[in-house]
Structure 1
Amino acid sequence: MLSSLRMRILVVTLVVVALALVINASVSYLTVQTHNEEQVGQQLDAVATGNARAIEEWTRARADMMEAAREPVMGDDPRTALIQLAESGGFLSAYIGRPDGSIMTSDGWNAPDDFDSTTRGWYRDAVARGETIISRPFVDAVSGQQVVSFATPVHKDGRLAGVIGGDVVIDDLIAEVASIHPTPSSFAFLSVDGETLIAHPDAELTRQPLTAVSDGLTPEFIARLVRQDATWEPINVDSKTKRLAVASIDGTDWELGVVLDEDEATAGLRAILKSSLITLVIIIG
């Protein structure tokens, strides 16, 4: 009977210890989970925001150069002013389109007789918005490189005098975005209006719809994520759950997205859970 009593005491003790371990592990897991979610969210947001600000500086610098060229380009020697703009801003070519449809370029390009600068997208967009604009990416016909156009309207005596534009290669910008991966399986993308990819680690996706990355990446989804307070939203990429944080690029229609792999985000939690289970098995065993 004494042996039976000892066995009961041992069993009860083991149950109490096991229960205490389970409760302690659960509390620890939930505490760490909450902290981990906050930390991952803050880090993901910091990566997206920090890199977005760097891209913003890149675009702002060129927009400032374009706007600073308004007065000299409207002076007595516009060609020299355009050449200086192209050289200082790293533009493939700088140019001014006038209301009569004519164009002058920094590289001396002679437009065909039927050319009309006022029908070009960069001209129309700059006039319509009344401010400096950045076009969607396109492939330069001569160099074959990825390019965007900056354009800004110029007024004289209260009337439109023309639109100054410049084409700049974005290969380095694309490479910078492709290098953003805070964890091995994470990546970043740069898009415009939540619709079209400007940069992605897979170069084949450049200028493709953003939905090519994930069906859920619609303009409405991106706009909502940019506006809301939440730092990230779950998305599905190649049948795997990911976390997406998006930061807008001020002064543009662009947004930078950073995609974090869910397994890598929760690796620390799984390690804690595994350790707790092993400890419990050892004690019970």
Structure 2
Amino acid sequence: MAFGFLTSLRGKIVATVGLLVAAGLLVLSATNVYTARSHALESLDSQTRALSRSHAAGVGDWVSARKQVVVSFAGAVPEADPIKFLQQAKIAGDVDTAYIGFADKHTAFSSPQELPPDYDPTSRPWYQLAAKESGPVVTDPYLDAGTKKLVITFASAVKDGAQVSAVTALDVFMDGVVRNVASIRPTPGTYGLIVGKDGKIVVHEDTALAMKPITDIAPSLGAGGLEALVGAAGLRDVTIRGENRLVYAEPIPGSNWILLVALNRAEAMRGVTALVWSAAAWSVAIAVMTVLVIGGILSTLLGRLLVLRNAMQDIGSGEGDLTQRIPTEGNDELAAIATGFNQFVEKTQGVLRQVRSSADGVATASAEIAQGNHDLSARTEQQA
């Protein structure tokens, strides 16, 4: 009887061992990958948090410094000629323009401005916003028509009791903030952006998105999604422009802005991905080597079993040589089976010898009886 590899005892043992080894390696690899992924995310979260806080603090310091400047020249309001104070404030704050809007609707600027005759500072958003607050305020950014750069206004109300006598203000190009955010590039596919708490984009590498809703590029950050991201205090999966990204949110001190750092997930998890492929390759290699080694060992250990099988098949077919014996070296089950088989063959051989001897005796007796009958028949014929 012929046996296929998987129907033989050796094949079944090899297959079983191979499956067990593969399953064990799969569980081990999955555990290692999960652990590595968790550690990688923790490390990535920590690094991104430190990076975000550093840049947010830098922007916060930038905002704080200009708030101090806009408050500092409030003493110029009662001056007959405040221009020199405004010029000093412009230099100190490194701003585009410093100016004062008075309640009587006249203005003073650090440099000449071409304004319409009916220009009324009290009707401007920066004036009205500052008049409502007790401290310095920051307006939403807007694109300067001439330079196409982002500009914001810092303003602070000067009050006489409950009445606003004037509002000091600074127009500031956001170049420094834009450069700060643009430098957030830990990986080629990572970038930063600043979003207002009202959900409008303040700074983005694509300047065309300035002051547009964040939901235009990240729908999940609407309807409380932005607040939830800030409250999460860690990396979260966010789809931005159709790409799955890991995003960290850090409020910027002294402002209503939030710094978002959007990591390219594939780049960020590249190490874990490489580990997965490496673990898979090693698992396959180890499983194959294990099967080959186990197969070789079993071929050696079970070689006598094949000899025993062939001998029994020969005897069963009636063509066996009962003078042959199976080697019984070793002290295992196969040696015991070989010894038992040899004893069985020896006893069978003895029985057959006895049968043959008995058959020879019967043949001799039969011949003698036949000869006696022949002699008796001959004598009977002679007497007749």
TM-align CA RMSD: 2.3
Residue 31 of structure 2 corresponds to 27
1:52-91 matched pairs, under 5 angstroms: 52-91=56-95
The answer as to whether partners of 2:246 and 2:263 remain within 8 angstroms in 1 is yes
The alpha-carbon deviation at position 144 of structure 1 amounts to 4.0
Residue 192 of structure 1 corresponds to 196
Q: 2:279 aligns with which of 276, 279, 282?
A: 276
The alpha-carbon deviation at position 158 of structure 1 amounts to 5.7
The alpha-carbon deviation at position 258 of structure 1 amounts to 0.6
Aligned length: 283
2:243 paired with 1:236: no
The answer as to whether partners of 2:233 and 2:249 remain within 8 angstroms in 1 is no
1:149-168 matched pairs, under 5 angstroms: 149-156=153-160, 159-168=163-172
1:42-191 matched pairs, under 5 angstroms: 42-109=46-113, 111-156=115-160, 159-191=163-195
TM-score normalised according to structure 1 size: 0.90
Query: How many Å separate the matches in 1 of 2:284 and 2:248?
Result: 39
Query: How many Å separate the matches in 1 of 2:132 and 2:193?
Result: 28
**Greater CA deviation, 41-50 or 97-106?**
41-50
The answer as to whether partners of 1:96 and 1:104 remain within 8 angstroms in 2 is yes
Matched position secondary structure for 1:136 = coil
Cα 1:141–1:185 change in 2 (3 A) is closer
Paired letter, 1:34? S
Query: How many Å separate the matches in 2 of 1:179 and 1:145?
Result: 18
Larger Rg: 1 or 2?
A: 2
Query: How many Å separate the matches in 2 of 1:194 and 1:232?
Result: 21
Query: How many Å separate the matches in 1 of 2:11 and 2:99?
Result: 92
Cα 1:275–1:194 change in 2 (3 A) is farther
Structure number with higher helix proportion: 2
Superposed CA offset, 1:162-199 (max 9, x none): 10001011133223312312211111111222422221
The answer as to whether partners of 1:248 and 1:255 remain within 8 angstroms in 2 is yes
Cα 1:237–1:111 change in 2 (3 A) is closer
Query: How many Å separate the matches in 2 of 1:189 and 1:57?
Result: 17
Paired letter, 2:279? S
**Greater CA deviation, 61-70 or 15-24?**
15-24
Paired letter, 1:244? V
2:234 paired with 1:253: no
Paired letter, 2:138? I
**Greater CA deviation, 230-239 or 128-137?**
230-239
Superposed CA offset, 1:55-87 (max 9, x none): 001111111111121124434542211111112
Paired letter, 2:241? D
The answer as to whether partners of 1:194 and 1:222 remain within 8 angstroms in 2 is no
Q: 1:213 aligns with which of 209, 217, 226?
A: 217
Cα 1:194–1:10 change in 2 (3 A) is same
2:226 paired with 1:222: yes
Paired letter, 2:255? T
Superposed CA offset, 1:102-155 (max 9, x none): 111111336433221111000000111221111111123454432111101112
Matched position secondary structure for 2:224 = helix
**Structure 1 unmatched ranges of 5 or more:** none
The answer as to whether partners of 1:194 and 1:217 remain within 8 angstroms in 2 is no
Query: How many Å separate the matches in 2 of 1:22 and 1:141?
Result: 62
**Greater CA deviation, 149-158 or 30-39?**
149-158
Cα 1:88–1:73 change in 2 (3 A) is farther
The structure, 1 or 2, with the larger RCO (C-alpha pairs under 8 Å, 6+ apart) is 1
The answer as to whether partners of 1:101 and 1:116 remain within 8 angstroms in 2 is yes
Structure number with higher strand proportion: 1
Paired letter, 1:198? V
The alpha-carbon deviation at position 214 of structure 1 amounts to 1.8
The answer as to whether partners of 1:32 and 1:269 remain within 8 angstroms in 2 is yes
The answer as to whether partners of 1:194 and 1:255 remain within 8 angstroms in 2 is no
The answer as to whether partners of 1:243 and 1:262 remain within 8 angstroms in 2 is yes
Superposed CA offset, 1:21-52 (max 9, x none): 22221221221122122112222222222111
The answer as to whether partners of 1:187 and 1:258 remain within 8 angstroms in 2 is yes
The alpha-carbon deviation at position 8 of structure 1 amounts to 4.5
Q: Percent same amino acid at aligned positions? A: 27
Matched position secondary structure for 1:18 = helix
